Amino acid sequence: MSEAENSTYVPAPVTKAGYVATAVGMGVHPFGDPAITDEFAAEVLPIDGREFHVYAAEWTPDRVTFFVDGRQVKTVRQSPDYPMQLMLRIYEFPDAEGAERVGPYPKEFVVDYVRGYRPLTG
């Protein structure tokens, strides 16, 4: 899969002295695969998670590279060699520094579009 837009983790932003940032979760989980090491983290990015953004993952045989709004933000140098799935979800990390629950449940998770691409050679 080469450019699959993916809204991974979009919580309320953290604001400090006019600076807005949002933690976006990305990486790989082994889920029983002994060839994969758990490498997943919430990367803090200078974006407002309440606005629309383009989340992408480029998956090659040796790595998975993650992008937000066209900017490369993380590369995991391992890659599953079997079919994968695209998951969209919202998740809050209430114990994270600066995290807070905003408003009551249920939350709203708005997705404008999802696309998946395959290279012409594969």
Sheet strand arrangement including 19-28? 14-16, 19-28, 39-45
Per-residue pLDDT at 3 exceeds 50: no
Question: pLDDT by residue (tens digit) across 12-58?
Answer: 555 555 668 888 889 998 888 999 999 999 899 999 888 999 999 99
Question: pLDDT by residue (tens digit) across 48-79?
Answer: 888 999 999 998 889 999 999 999 999 999 99
The domain limits of the chain are 1-122
Question: pLDDT by residue (tens digit) across 88-100?
Answer: 777 666 665 655 5
Beta-bridged to residue 20, according to DSSP, are: 15
